Structure formats: structure tokens, C-alpha cells
Amino acid sequence: MGLHIGVVGATGAVGRKILNVLAERKMDIDRLRCFASERTAGEMLEWKGRSITIELLTEEVMMESFDYLLFSAGGEVSKKYAAVAQEAGNTIIDNSSQWRMTDGIPLIVPEVNGHTLRNYKGIIANPNCSTIQMVVALAPLHRIYRIKRIVVSTYQAVSGSGHKAIVELENQMKDTEYPSQVYPKRIAANCLPHIDVFNENGFTKEELKMVYETQKIMDDDSIQVNATTVRVPVFYGHSESVTITFESAPRLQEVRELLQNEEGIVLMDNPEALEYPTPLETSGTDAVYVGRLRKDLYDPCVLSMWIVADNLRKGAATNAVQIVEKMEKLK
């Protein structure tokens, strides 16, 4: 028998992307069910040549038996319905921030800490999109050189704010007078160093996610992370400028070999040929792309790099599906 999988929030941007990824990957799915709110319940979705009716999300249906439930419907929905599904004995992969820092709930990037899921059943948290791509690139280096400190600046696509943000950017590119509704300032032809709410210490919630999620995924609270997250007028794909201080001095050739041989990473680093990853080139793919590798001019223990990934795929949908695949391999 194949898997019985449910997708909660199936009509949202990430939910639809989860359905796309499930269709693309060779996973043995016997039954796929899609759930949403009253607004879209009853609508039809096409998946692998067949029509699926969107079911209304209720507590009763979450108490049924599933192999996996993939949630992408926001924190409040996850708080209510994922808890019910867990009590019924189901395994849930949740894309919201609701459970990420909850003790006892694993925060998983399969390439980094997927091995910890053996024999696990319950809620699994999918990390923040910016954190996912960064830790995929840094984990193999941390194993060898041990990371002391990370300074990261992100350049995040508007799709991370949902479909309304995409529409806002499209309209502002056509009309300089189009009002800003999703963002506090105009996003077209602009950069906003402000993602999510500001904390009293001056950092935004998005920046603090990168701090604490990185430490949890890497299982190392000693790693220092200083993040600045910026929204840029790009539709899909997050980019990151990352500078890492290690305990020991990395050798550049060895770093290249480590990255080239790591699952889920594509090294695109040939400055002489102007080869480096950009959001346009990596959109629609599942890998994490790394380029602009260079040693610090002054400190031999410091390395800088440029990391790019599709935020809706590896940053959300693909990572969730890969968690399912990892758990199936661990059985």
C-alpha cells in the first residue's frame, strides 16, 4: 500500500507548491487529500491527471489516520489542528513558525539533521526559508572547521510575503503611484531592511528566527548569528551574503570539495567566467546554490560566500516533502 497524505492549506502558494513537488518526485502515494478553509472548500484541483476535491478542514477530519499531514496554513491553524492531528497519532510537517522553537519538537532540514527523525511520530517543524538554505550550505563546513560566528544579510523575494505581495510588486512596476498595502513602503525599485515586526533589541522577528533556528538545527547554542534581513523587488528566490568565522582556518580547495560532494548543494563559483547563482537562474529548482567563495583578507579563519535558493521550494515545500522522504528511508 502507498502512502496516505493530507495537505492542509492546499490552495495557498506553498500548499500548491507542495502538490507540485509531490507530483514531481517518485513517491508511492496511494491517497492524497487536500484541505482548506470554507473560502475554497469544494473547489477542484488537478493533480497527476486526476481531479481532487478540496475538503473543509475540521477537527474531526484531522482525527482520521494519515501517514503524513503537510501543513501550510499559518500559525493559528497549525496551533489548533496540528495538535488535534498529533493526538490522533498522526505525523505532521508544519510550515508555520508555530512549533519551531517548542522543546521536544524537531526542527528539520533533512540534509543537516534528518537522521534525528528515526522512530519519531508527531509534529515536525519546517524551518524559516532563509535559515534552511543557509544551514544546508554551512553544515558540512561546521562538521570540519566548527563555526563560531555567522554574519548574514538576506535579500528576500516578495513571494515570501504571499500572493498579494507579488501582485503589489507587479502593479508598482507598471504604476509608480500604486499604493503600498503589503509593505510599509514601496517595494518596486527599492529595498526594505524590515521583515516581520521589530523586537525591542532592534532586530526583527525574521532576523531572530535565523539566530535561534540555526542554533537548534545545528544543535549548537554557541554559534553566534548576526542577521540583517532585507526585502527586495524580486519575485522568487532568496539570496544571502554570509561571512563565517570558524575555530580553525578553512582551506578554500577543501571547502569547494566539501560543498561539491554534499547532497542538495550546487557549487556555482567561477568569477572569471562570471558564474555565480542568482534568483532568476535558480527559480523553480530544489537545490541550494553557493558562489562567491573567498577567504577574508585579514583573518584566515573567516570565509565569505553567496547563497541562493528558491524560497517556495527548498525554502518551504520541497524541504517538507524531503522530510517525508527521509522518514520513509529511516523506517
Cα(134)–Cα(314) distance, integer angstroms: 11
Q: Has 238 been annotated as catalytic?
A: yes
Q: Has 34 been annotated as catalytic?
A: no
- In 10 A of CB 212, how many CB atoms? 16
149, 263, 272, 296 from 249: Cα distances, Å = 13, 23, 25, 10
Cα(306)–Cα(243) distance, integer angstroms: 9
Q: Where are the beta strands (DSSP E) in the chain?
A: 3-8, 29-36, 44-47, 50-56, 68-71, 92-94, 123-125, 147-156, 224-231, 238-246, 265-267, 288-295, 302-309
What's 150's DSSP letter? E
Catalytic residue among 4, 163, 238, 301: 238
Catalytic residue among 4, 34, 115, 129: 129
Q: Return the residue matching grid coordinates 565569505.
A: 304
Per-residue burial over 243-254, b = 16 or more CB atoms within 10 Å of its CB, e = otherwise: bbbbeeebeeee
Q: Are the beta carbons of 183 and 192 closer than 8 angstroms?
A: yes
Give the cell for residue 63. Answer: 482525527
Q: Are the beta carbons of 41 and 9 closer than 8 angstroms?
A: no
315: Cα separation from own chain's centroid: 2
Q: Return the residue matching grid coordinates 523575494.
A: 157
Enumerate the active-site residues: 129, 238
